[in-house]
């Protein structure tokens, strides 16, 4: 389970160890996104080499394709995709709310049409659990009702209540064999009293960890930080805390300071595929504290890199930076060579996973 | 240079060693295609792991982009793409003839419009040499006049004559510092007397090796074999022989038996990207002799593989076959996951490079 190793004296940052059925994961950590059972362009071997300890896969996509029958025959998602470390799966709720064209929500669950074959599917809390059990993920998430931004107070309040009732139903279906952890999700949009209410209700039910959902959906970042601070302050310090879907490097640093342990975000890999690289600033003062701009975004498709034979990031020792120049990567992007997306993805994940390692080191040395 | 090690007693197959500025290449060999300075989806490290000894890059594409200025700054194509083994470059002629929308041929060279910026470019034998010298390839090819299929006799005869004159001009520009080998190309379409004439003229000029061009352009395969047999019989046995752009596995075996040492073909990697896998037949009798159908084409996108948890090829130990099932690869293709193309490319190149290794072993043991 989770062991808290250290609490910072100068912020709410924490160091910990989360033990799953597939190993120990040091917190705070970042999860690369393997939506359909593959981190785009990368092999499991490369992910391990980059220091990934755990990845996130999407229940919604994997339920629609390949589906539970094939997943059952494979044994688990780990077996299917050849990944032997930990996997967290979302509940599918977020995708139903954001992707499915027609959806109806009622107390039973969310009904939507499959984008593959058009059939109607009713995603209930029980089905969300069943799918995640079939996937064999190490960390399962409850089915929650996600609200976007902006949302009016009344709708956000109803979503909080429904999320609590669904959380109860998920917990009832949680097999207590110690193989899969189950995390609750706290909703409440940007309304402090709803966030507090949700935190109270979800923690009262009791889960292996707690996620803050419904942020990174378009709200001002300061409001997001306020909600994180508020909620994190109410959570059991001996349970891991997961901020869903956020974010940029500086947002991760800020959320760590507010007591968050777990992150996922699509931007390092998605932006990589569009040629946007995260690059550490050279020769920074007070590097350890992540003050000011500690990195920059490098648009490798820009013509200025045609003749730039430096590594992508002069401070980085990832496979892409050790072996290739900016000029070469730009050439690959200019010609739509598929290797371009792969090299950029490797670097951006090296940046993110390296950032988490630095964050852990800086908490350890008492400077964050 | 080239050292002939063994001649088969039962066919014209040969074993040899070709030494370039970047190492020793055992013949017969196959060159994966790195059109724009990258084998699609794969890193140089993976190619080395697959046993690739030499790759082929396209002068035409690299001349248009990134161009000679950037290549000059990189130092060489090897440096630019991070590949430390041998590289063969074509002369660009084939692409000008097959890709450029408007082209005019005269004695000086071929004029075409750049597909990048529309400017007119006159590709002369001298420029073809200059570009390849700038790329720093280990094996350069002369600029030839390529004929398609069908071609009338008169046109084919003119192309043979022009190719001989251009070959002379290329040879004049060949720097004799021993760093770059230069190969002549024999044309003549499917006309035996023209092939013989071309072989005589090109060998009279004298090159480090000889290529048979203008085949694999749509002619019946039996005619191609007849031309190969005819031409190979006229070539100096102490020079390597390269059959350009061919071919399927059984065609490679057949051409080896006719005395060919070097091959390139786009099909293992291009077909891989469309989900067509080359798979060894299991439990074959007389495997060594490559009789009958020694492999099969597996269309991994076919629904029958949804539930097939066997490796892609049960006889193969490549990275893709060791780690992933047909069901998983099919899932990746069904979802347009970029990892699909990479895994399929790895396997198909493992098949082709493994085929060449088997061919060398079978010649060595006197069975081919």
pLDDT tens digits for range A211-269? 999 999 999 999 999 999 999 999 999 999 999 999 999 999 999 999 999 999 999 99
Predicted confidence at residue B285, as pLDDT, reads: 62
B100 min Cα distance to partner chain A (Å): 17
Q: What is the pLDDT of residues A120-161, one digit of tens each?
A: 999 999 999 999 999 999 999 999 998 889 999 999 999 999
The verdict on a CB contact (< 8 Å) between A37 and B328 is yes
The rounded mean pLDDT for chain B is: 95
B232 min Cα distance to partner chain A (Å): 36
B96 or B294, which is more confident? B294
Query: Which pLDDT band holds residue A288 (cuts at 50, 70, 90)?
Result: low
The verdict on a CB contact (< 8 Å) between A43 and B323 is yes
The rounded mean pLDDT for chain A is: 95
Tell me the average pLDDT across A159-167: 98
Three-class HEC string of chain B: CEEEEEECCCCCCEEEEEEECCEEEEECEEECECCCCCCCCCCHHHHHHCCCCEEEECHHHHHHCCCHHHHHHHCCHHHHHCCCCEEEECCCHHHHHHCCCCEEECCCCEEEECCCCCCEEEECHHHHHHHHHHHCCCEEECCCCCCCCCCCHHHHHHHHHHHHHHHHHHHHCCCCCCCCEEEEEECCCCCHHHHHHHHHHHHHHCCCEEEECCCCCCCCHHHHHHHHHHHHCCCCCCCCEEECCCCCHHHHHHHHHCCCCEEECCHHHHHHHCCEEEEECCCCCCHHHCCCCCEEEEECCCHHHCCCCCECCCCCCCHHHHHCEHHHHHHHHHCCCHHHHHHHHHHHHHHHHHHHHHHHHHHHCCCC
d(CA B81, CA B59): 14
In sequence order, the 6+-apart residues with CB closer than 8 A to the CB of B13 are: B7, B28, B256, B257, B259, B359, B363, B368
Tell me which range, A94-98, B113-117, B288-292, B330-334, is most confidently predicted by mean pLDDT: B330-334
Pick from B57, B334, B335, B343 the residue to mutate for testing the A interface (most A CBs within 10 Å): B335
Query: Which pLDDT band holds residue A274 (cuts at 50, 70, 90)?
Result: very high
Whether residue A362 has pLDDT greater than 70:
yes
Pick from B60, B66, B301 the residue to mutate for testing the A interface (most A CBs within 10 Å): B66
Tell me the average pLDDT across A50-62: 97
Interface of A with B (CB under 8 A): 36-38, 40-45, 61, 65-66, 70, 73-74, 80-82, 306-307, 309, 319, 323-325, 327-328, 331-332, 334-335, 337-339, 341-343
Whether residue B24 has pLDDT greater than 60:
yes
The verdict on a CB contact (< 8 Å) between A40 and B65 is no
Query: Which pLDDT band holds residue A204 (cuts at 50, 70, 90)?
Result: very high
Which of B44, B73, B339 comes nearest A41 by C-beta? B339
In terms of CA atoms, which chain B residue is nearest residue A77?
A: B328
- Strand B262-264 relative to strand B29-31: parallel, antiparallel, unpaired? parallel
Which of B331, B338, B343 comes nearest A66 by C-beta? B331
Q: Would you state the structure tokens that stand for residue B272, as one six-digit string?
A: 């891989």
d(CA B309, CA B316): 15
The verdict on a CB contact (< 8 Å) between B74 and A309 is yes
A192 or A96, which is more confident? A192
Which of A82, A337, A341 comes nearest B324 by C-beta? A82
**Is cis: bond before B77, omega within 30 of 0?**
no
* Lowest model confidence (mean pLDDT) among A102-106, A204-208, A352-356, B275-279: A102-106
Which of B41, B43, B339 comes nearest A38 by C-beta? B339
Biggest alpha carbon–alpha carbon distance for chain A? 61
Among B276, B245, B261, CA closest to B5: B261
Which of B307, B337, B339 comes nearest A73 by C-beta? B307
B117 flagged as catalytic: no
Burial of B186 (0-12, 13-18, 19+ CB in 10 A): buried
Tell me the average pLDDT across A185-191: 98
Interface of B with A (CB under 8 A): 36-38, 40-45, 61, 65-66, 70, 73-74, 80-82, 306-307, 309, 319, 323-325, 327-328, 331-332, 334-335, 337-339, 341-343
Predicted confidence at residue B359, as pLDDT, reads: 97
Active-site residue among A208, A261, A264, A313? Answer: A264
Among B243, B155, B234, CA closest to B200: B234
The verdict on a CB contact (< 8 Å) between A342 and B337 is no
Whether residue B336 has pLDDT greater than 80:
yes
Which of A74, A309, A332 comes nearest B38 by C-beta? A332
Alpha-carbon distances, residue B366 vs A270, B15, B288, B357 (angstroms): 54, 11, 10, 14
Q: What is the pLDDT of residues B123-168, one digit of tens each?
A: 999 999 999 999 999 999 999 998 889 999 999 999 999 999 999 9
Active-site residue among B90, B144, B208, B313? Answer: B90
The verdict on a CB contact (< 8 Å) between A335 and B36 is yes
d(CA A178, CA A176): 5
The verdict on a CB contact (< 8 Å) between A327 and B40 is no
A31 min Cα distance to partner chain B (Å): 19
In terms of CA atoms, which chain B residue is nearest residue A340?
A: B41
The verdict on a CB contact (< 8 Å) between A337 and B38 is yes
Q: What is the pLDDT of residues B187-203, one digit of tens each?
A: 999 999 999 999 999 99
Whether residue B286 has pLDDT greater than 70:
no
The verdict on a CB contact (< 8 Å) between A338 and B41 is yes
Alpha-carbon distances, residue B65 vs A232, B73, B137, B335, B339 (angstroms): 53, 14, 17, 31, 26
Chain-centre distance for alpha carbon A166: 22
Predicted confidence at residue B96, as pLDDT, reads: 85
Predicted confidence at residue B17, as pLDDT, reads: 98
Chain-centre distance for alpha carbon B291: 24
Give percent above pLDDT 90 in chain B: 89
d(CA A351, CA A364): 20
Predicted confidence at residue A287, as pLDDT, reads: 55
Predicted confidence at residue A214, as pLDDT, reads: 95
All residues of chain B having their beta carbon less than 8 Å from the beta carbon of residue A319 are 43, 45
The verdict on a CB contact (< 8 Å) between A338 and B37 is no
d(CA A143, CA A122): 12
pTM above 0.95, yes or no: yes
Predicted confidence at residue A279, as pLDDT, reads: 97
The verdict on a CB contact (< 8 Å) between B339 and A73 is no
Which ranges in chain B are annotated with CATH 3.20.20.105? 2-265
Query: Which pLDDT band holds residue B231 (cuts at 50, 70, 90)?
Result: very high
A324 min Cα distance to partner chain B (Å): 7
Which of A37, A61, A331 comes nearest B66 by C-beta? A331
A264 flagged as catalytic: yes
**Is cis: bond before A247, omega within 30 of 0?**
yes
d(CA B4, CA B15): 6
All residues of chain A having their beta carbon less than 8 Å from the beta carbon of residue B65 are 331, 334-335
Beta carbon pairs, A and B, within 8 Å: 108
All residues of chain A having their beta carbon less than 8 Å from the beta carbon of residue B44 are 323
All residues of chain A having their beta carbon less than 8 Å from the beta carbon of residue B328 are 37, 74, 80-82
Among A103, A87, A2, A33, CA closest to A245: A33
Rg (Cα) of chain B, in Å, rounded? 20
Alpha-carbon distances, residue B267 vs A248, B75, B277, B320, B348 (angstroms): 42, 30, 10, 18, 9
Predicted confidence at residue B59, as pLDDT, reads: 96
In terms of CA atoms, which chain A residue is nearest residue B309?
A: A74
Give percent above pLDDT 90 in chain A: 89
Predicted confidence at residue B115, as pLDDT, reads: 85
Burial of A322 (0-12, 13-18, 19+ CB in 10 A): exposed
Q: What is the pLDDT of residues A251-265, one digit of tens each?
A: 999 999 999 999 999
CATH class in words for B2-265: alpha beta
d(CA B251, CA B236): 22
Q: What is the pLDDT of residues B37-94, one digit of tens each?
A: 999 999 999 999 999 999 999 999 999 999 999 999 999 999 999 999 999 999 988 8
Q: What is the pLDDT of residues B236-268, one digit of tens each?
A: 999 999 999 999 999 999 999 999 999 999 999
Pick from B32, B38, B307, B320 the residue to mutate for testing the A interface (most A CBs within 10 Å): B38
B207 or B93, which is more confident? B207
Query: Which pLDDT band holds residue A115 (cuts at 50, 70, 90)?
Result: confident
All residues of chain A having their beta carbon less than 8 Å from the beta carbon of residue B337 are 36, 38, 40
Predicted confidence at residue A292, as pLDDT, reads: 75
Predicted confidence at residue A304, as pLDDT, reads: 97
Active-site residue among B138, B144, B208, B264? Answer: B264
Which of B66, B319, B343 comes nearest A306 by C-beta? B66
Predicted confidence at residue A286, as pLDDT, reads: 57
């Amino acid at each position: 389970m989770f062991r808290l190793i250290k609490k910072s004296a100068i912020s709410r940052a924490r160091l910990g160890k989360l033990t799953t059925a597939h190993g120990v994961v040091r917190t705070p950590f970042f999860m690369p996104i393997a939506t359909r059972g593959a981190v785009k362009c990368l092999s499991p071997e490369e992910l391990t080499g980059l220091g990934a300890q755990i990845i996130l896969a999407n229940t919604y996509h994997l339920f629609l394709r390949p589906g539970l029958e094939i997943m059952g025959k494979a044994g688990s998602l780990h077996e299917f995709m050849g990944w032997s470390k930990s996997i967290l799966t979302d509940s599918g709720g977020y995708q139903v709310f954001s992707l499915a064209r027609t959806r109806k929500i009622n107390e039973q669950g969310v009904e939507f049409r499959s984008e593959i074959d058009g059939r109607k599917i009713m995603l209930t809390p029980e089905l969300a659990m069943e799918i995640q059990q079939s996937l064999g993920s190490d960390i399962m998430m409850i089915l929650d009702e996600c609200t976007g931004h902006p949302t009016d107070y009344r709708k956000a309040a109803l979503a909080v209540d429904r999320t609590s009732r669904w959380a109860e139903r998920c917990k009832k279906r949680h097999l207590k064999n110690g193989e899969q952890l189950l995390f609750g999700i706290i909703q409440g949009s940007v309304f402090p009293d709803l966030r507090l209410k949700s935190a109270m209700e979800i923690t009262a039910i009791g889960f292996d960890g707690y996620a803050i959902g419904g942020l990174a959906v378009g709200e001002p970042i300061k409001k997001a930080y306020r909600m994180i601070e508020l909620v994190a302050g109410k959570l059991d310090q001996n349970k891991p805390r997961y901020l869903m879907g956020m974010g940029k490097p500086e947002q991760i640093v800020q959320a760590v300071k507010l007591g968050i342990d777990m992150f996922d975000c699509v931007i390092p890999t998605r932006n990589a595929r569009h040629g946007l690289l995260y690059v550490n600033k050279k020769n920074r003062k007070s590097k350890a504290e992540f003050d000011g701009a500690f990195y920059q975004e490098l648009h490798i498709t820009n013509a200025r890199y045609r003749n730039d034979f430096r590594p992508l990031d002069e401070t980085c020792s990832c496979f892409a930076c050790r072996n290739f120049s900016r000029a070469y990567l730009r050439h690959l992007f200019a010609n739509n060579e598929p290797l371009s997306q792969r090299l950029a993805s490797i670097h951006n994940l090296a940046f993110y996973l390296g950032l988490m390692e630095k964050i852990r080191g800086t908490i350890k040395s008492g400077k964050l």
